[in-house]
Structure 1
Amino acid sequence: MYLLKSTQEVPAYSLEQDPVLPGKLFSIKTFEGVRPHQSELLVPHKKEYYMFVLARRGGSRHWVDMTPYETRDNTLYFFGPNQVIVKEEPKCMWGTALAFDKEYLALHDNASLARLPIVRNEQNACELVLSEADIAFTEDMLAKIQKEFNQPGEWQQRMITAYLTVLVTYLSRLYSEQYESMMTSSDSSFLNKYQAAIEEHFREIHQVSEYAALLYVSPGHLRDVVKAQSGKPAITHIQERMVLEARRMLFHTEYSLKEIGFDLGFSDASYFSRFFKRETGATPAEYRALTREMYQ
């Protein structure tokens, strides 16, 4: 496995930079026996966009964060910003991939897409199992989107937005069904705001009271609402996000424990180690050794 040096950041590729799936804000492409781009193989990287891939023929292997996946036939895979991806094998791919970035979601007609469960991806998942009916529906919608994408015209963007909304809404229903045991049925609008604030500030803000100030509510109100909407204490959301980032860095990089701790806002490496062991049951060094063994 290629490990990033302590002087390297995890590469982040924009949609415009993607050599296989190029596009400024939105792109779709069908692959028939195409190999992954060599520059991405075995290199931990992030995508600065959302990507949905209907894999018609599986067999390749990749990692999302610290989880390995063997690509399966007729299965949907989805990725978003911040997830660390490693493509492990140069095997050919058959399927269709579509992608769009945050700027595309910010457009007025597309704003509702950002609120759908599979786009928010609160479970940090990346795989949907599809029934035959799901496959037929997904293939039909992808074909309609690709047809509009290949025929520029006055109505192109509206048609793409309409089809994309139907497709992503349908996939969000499947996402909710498959991950419903981990999801809350409560109204989660405030929870979403809280999680978005954590995503933006988790490196420098570790206290619930500081997030309450950002969201213009009292700490007590924030704790009560977050617990009611998620079933977890507010502080747990902060800690889980910090642990996820620590795991990513321990697994994919050669950063020292001091460097990882400093990146996450800890002034002392021993304090970071105690925090990590309290949350995971293993020291950072033990976790790094165990996950490297798992990868081999």
Structure 2
Amino acid sequence: MKAAIPIYDICSLTQRQDDLLISRFAPYLKSHRNLHLAHKHSFYHLVFFTQGDGSQTIDFKQVPVKPFQIYFMIPGQVHNWAFRGKVDGYIINFSVPFFQSFLLKANYLEDFPFFTGIVADSVIDVPAGMQQQITGLFEQLIHETEEPKPLADDMVRSIMLQLFIAIARLGFTSVNKTIPSYNYTLLRSFQKLIEKNYATLRLPKQYAELLYITPNHLNALCNDVLGIPAGEVIRNRIALEAKRLLINNDLTVQEIANQLNFADNSYFTRFFKKQVGSTPEEFRKTTNSHD
């Protein structure tokens, strides 16, 4: 039987105890050729491409790779690359606690639109007018890690926050043109609640109660902003977790159904087929044949 999907932490990539890895991408890729296979990270991960072609798959959604594209991943997402030709740029891996001791608001990063785990929001083309600025920030980060000075970690954190805010402003500009800030905040709160409770809370009315709004209000919000009802947002997150678990052949379909709190295997299979278009066994077979 195929081994379980690998889950990497920063230590396994650097061979030392650390909360941070910053590198130019070409040497990193050369040292970690195995990362073209599907894998998970236990840390935050972002890459800024300055040169490259091919594709990558994040949580089973394939996106093209191109110069001056930046992508962000949160812990637990499934990822693999399929590059063509020479690829270069910059990579940052950092642990969940890396900013927690630095910022009073422990979940500060969750407010950035690209750290939601939604693939469509986390792969961003940097416009020509910002490419020099973003490249300069990455060069500062490389310099700080290659020639560390007093308070180097705090300097790195402050440069990373400049980077995050600069990229976030791109997204906020486009979001704010069409979505009132209150609705955007409410939607993010809904998404965060789903992330914490998808295995136990399945109904929009349960989330509406936690948000102190009516189920109709929640449905209208999701339909207006996302184009799908609240129930579909919840079901999509459950289906995504099922996909992530199914690529681990060490788990049986029954065990996955139990982990996601389905009453029985047949109910889970019906749910999965309706959401994904194939049975769990078919999805597992097809996905594994691509590795």
TM-score for the superposition, normalised by structure 1: 0.76
Task: Give the Cα separation in 2 of the matches to 1:66 and 1:13.
Answer: 18
| 1:30 paired to 2:24 | yes
Task: Give the Cα separation in 2 of the matches to 1:198 and 1:106.
Answer: 22
| 1:75 paired to 2:69 | yes
Residue number among 207, 219, 231 corresponding to 1:227 in the alignment: 219
Q: Which residue of 1 aligns with 2:35?
A: 40
Residue number among 55, 59, 80 corresponding to 1:86 in the alignment: 80
Q: Which residue of 1 aligns with 2:274?
A: 278
Task: Give the Cα separation in 1 of the matches to 2:103 and 2:9.
Answer: 22
Single out whichever of 101-110 and 132-141 deviates more from structure 2: 101-110
Task: Give the Cα separation in 2 of the matches to 1:105 and 1:114.
Answer: 12
Residue number among 8, 23, 34 corresponding to 1:13 in the alignment: 8
Cα 1:266–1:173 change in 2 (3 A) is same
Q: Are the aligned partners of 2:49 and 2:68 in contact in 1 as well (CA < 8 Å)?
A: yes
Q: Which residue of 2 aligns with 1:266?
A: 262
Q: Which residue of 1 aligns with 2:95?
A: 101
Cα 1:226–1:17 change in 2 (3 A) is farther
Task: Give the Cα separation in 2 of the matches to 1:122 and 1:39.
Answer: 25
Q: Are the aligned partners of 2:77 and 2:117 in contact in 1 as well (CA < 8 Å)?
A: no
Q: Which residue of 2 aligns with 1:119?
A: 115
Q: Which amino acid counterpart does residue 81 of structure 1 have in structure 2?
A: P
Q: Secondary structure at 1:99's aligned position in 2?
A: strand
Q: Which amino acid counterpart does residue 102 of structure 1 have in structure 2?
A: V
Q: Which amino acid counterpart does residue 124 of structure 2 have in structure 1?
A: L
Residue 18 of structure 1 and its aligned partner are, at CA, apart by 2.0
Q: Which residue of 2 aligns with 1:169?
A: 165
Q: Which amino acid counterpart does residue 138 of structure 2 have in structure 1?
A: L
Q: Which residue of 2 aligns with 1:65?
A: 59
Residue 168 of structure 1 and its aligned partner are, at CA, apart by 0.8
Residue number among 52, 55, 58 corresponding to 2:49 in the alignment: 55
Task: Give the Cα separation in 1 of the matches to 2:19 and 2:157.
Answer: 12
Cα deviation, 1:93-151, whole Å, max 9, x if unaligned, reads 42111222221232343744431112234455542222332221110111122323334
Q: What percent identity do the matched residue pairs reach?
A: 22
Single out whichever of 71-80 and 132-141 deviates more from structure 2: 71-80
Task: Give the Cα separation in 2 of the matches to 1:195 and 1:159.
Answer: 31
Q: Secondary structure at 2:255's aligned position in 1?
A: helix
Task: Give the Cα separation in 2 of the matches to 1:105 and 1:227.
Answer: 34
Q: Which amino acid counterpart does residue 246 of structure 1 have in structure 2?
A: A
Q: Which amino acid counterpart does residue 39 of structure 2 have in structure 1?
A: H
Residue 23 of structure 1 and its aligned partner are, at CA, apart by 6.7
Single out whichever of 97-106 and 187-196 deviates more from structure 2: 187-196
Q: Which residue of 2 aligns with 1:132?
A: 128
Cα 1:249–1:121 change in 2 (3 A) is closer
Task: Give the Cα separation in 1 of the matches to 2:109 and 2:24.
Answer: 22
Single out whichever of 86-95 and 111-120 deviates more from structure 2: 86-95
More helix by share: 2
Cα deviation, 1:61-80, whole Å, max 9, x if unaligned, reads 43222123443233223222
Cα 1:189–1:24 change in 2 (3 A) is farther
Task: Give the Cα separation in 2 of the matches to 1:36 and 1:91.
Answer: 16
Could you tell me which runs of 5 or more consecutive residues in structure 1 were left unpaired when the two chains were aligned: none
Task: Give the Cα separation in 2 of the matches to 1:132 and 1:176.
Answer: 18
Residue 207 of structure 1 and its aligned partner are, at CA, apart by 3.8
Cα 1:52–1:175 change in 2 (3 A) is farther
Q: Secondary structure at 1:16's aligned position in 2?
A: helix
Single out whichever of 44-53 and 254-263 deviates more from structure 2: 254-263
Task: Give the Cα separation in 1 of the matches to 2:194 and 2:65.
Answer: 31
Q: Secondary structure at 2:88's aligned position in 1?
A: strand
Aligned residues: CA RMSD? 3.5
Task: Give the Cα separation in 2 of the matches to 1:150 and 1:260.
Answer: 44
Cα deviation, 1:215-258, whole Å, max 9, x if unaligned, reads 4x66xx252553354335443332111111223344x3445543
Q: Are the aligned partners of 1:190 and 1:225 in contact in 2 as well (CA < 8 Å)?
A: no
TM-score for the superposition, normalised by structure 2: 0.77
| 1:145 paired to 2:141 | yes
Q: Are the aligned partners of 2:24 and 2:90 in contact in 1 as well (CA < 8 Å)?
A: yes
